[in-house]
Amino acid sequence: MALDKETLNQLLDSVSKFVDNRLKPLESQVAQEDRIPDEVVEEMKAMGLFGLTIPERYGGLGLSMADEIQVVQVLGHTSPAFRSVFGTNVGIGSQSIIIDGTEEQKNHYLPRMATGEIIGSFCLTEPDAGSDAASLKMSAVKDGDDYLLNGTKRFITNAPQANLFTVFARTNPEEKGSRGISAFLVDADTAGISVGPAYRKMGQQGAHVADVMFDDVRVPAANIVGAKENVGFKTAMKVLDRGRLHISALSVGIAERLIADSLKYAMQRKQFGQPIAEFQLIQAMLADSQTEMYAASCMVADAAKRRDAGENVAALAASCKLFATEMVGRVADRAVQIHGGAGYIEDYGIERFYRDVRLFRIYEGTSQIQQMVIARDMIRNASNIN
């Protein structure tokens, strides 16, 4: 359900002030220490950021997709590592339960996810199953009323902090593809689970990613999402549809930040006796960035509205993610160029964003996977018409 306009505006205003006054001054410190201060996490909890998309009856704010993208866009005005702290609770770590969970599962997990007491994490990717998610090998073998889970999950966002893993595992070994996979809700302190060290990454320091190993991990059958076997892959895809719109909105927000920084710099920096913003070649870069950001913003708003109206937006979400994440890559590249030498120097923060945004074209489905989803949808539609 959407928030009323006044409540949404209040939320946007308080998130915007939090970003400007609290988070922006910490960007460089967080990047250096690879850690978000505990008190900032507590403030995020108090603001309700962990429960943005969790329905109100389970203690969250219950944002619609159209509301969510506006909030996320504002959050994009600072380093994406901050958003990552609660990003999995808002998105891939909670949405399996919200979209396909049983009432019991919702009551059990969502209220504590909304407060941030439980951090959720999404375990789909494996060492040999990335883009081809349906080929995952992690096994779940029935043993009485339980399942025994064995295997390794790779590059799992927020794994070091997580209390709850949504784990995609093969319950039907006869079926090698998507139809033999189930989604399990697994408490992180279950015996047999170990989390590897956090990876050292190209960017987004402060956000943590690690492998999760499962060695004969006993999970009750009642913990299968929706209590339905072998439909977990579809759950994962539905979750990613929403996640892809979220990442698209984040890309728009970061583009806004980079354009604002670039414009400010171009208007202050003087060369050849005048601000560089007066030069048409700089203006071209600013105008291209602004135009592309606006296009992505319109796409995301349209797709979000259509998802809220109940349309299947799988291909639209893929189009948004493809365009918006590639867009912010170009905007970040131009931001470095406009800043010149300063763009390459750590102190200005521009090179940090340049590295941070590179991930958006990879996780929650690479640009190439989005192209595949879009083209397959086009072919399917054309085949149905003919």
Q: List residues binding ligand COS (CB under 6 A).
A: 122, 124-125, 131, 133-134, 178-179, 233-234, 237-238, 240-241, 314, 363-365, 369, 372-373
Per DSSP, helices labelled H in the chain are 5-17, 27-33, 38-47, 65-75, 80-90, 95-100, 103-115, 232-268, 280-308, 314-339, 350-356, 367-385
Closest distance to ligand COS from the beta carbon of 179 (Å): 5
Closer Cβ to ligand COS, 12 or 237, answer by number: 237
> Cα(56)–Cα(32) distance, rounded to whole angstroms?
37
Closest distance to ligand COS from the beta carbon of 178 (Å): 4
Both structure tokens of 362 = 């990879």
The residue behind tokens 């047999």 is 192
Whether 311 sits among the annotated catalytic residues: the reply is no
Q: Which of 126, 256, 351, 364 is catalytic?
A: 364
DSSP-based three-state secondary structure for 223: helix
Closest distance to ligand COS from the beta carbon of 236 (Å): 8
> Cα(265)–Cα(277) distance, rounded to whole angstroms?
8
Closest distance to ligand COS from the beta carbon of 317 (Å): 8
Closer Cβ to ligand COS, 146 or 302, answer by number: 302
Question: Of 315, 314, 351, which is closest to residue 332 (Cα–Cα)?
Answer: 351
- CB-based contact 48:61 (threshold 8 Å): yes
Closer Cβ to ligand COS, 59 or 196, answer by number: 196
Closest distance to ligand COS from the beta carbon of 223 (Å): 20
> Cα(303)–Cα(65) distance, rounded to whole angstroms?
9
> Cα(139)–Cα(125) distance, rounded to whole angstroms?
13
Q: Strands 146-157 and 164-170, how do they pair?
A: unpaired
Closer Cβ to ligand COS, 18 or 122, answer by number: 122
Cα dist. 260→141, 267, 278, 321 in Å? 53, 11, 16, 22
Both structure tokens of 91 = 């998105």
Closer Cβ to ligand COS, 270 or 376, answer by number: 376
Closer Cβ to ligand COS, 238 or 269, answer by number: 238
Name residue 284's amino acid. Answer: A
Query: Whats the size of the chain, residue-wise?
Result: 386
DSSP-based three-state secondary structure for 146: strand
> Cα(290)–Cα(288) distance, rounded to whole angstroms?
6
Closer Cβ to ligand COS, 337 or 366, answer by number: 366
Integer distance in angstroms from the first to the last C-alpha of the chain? 38
Active site residues: 364
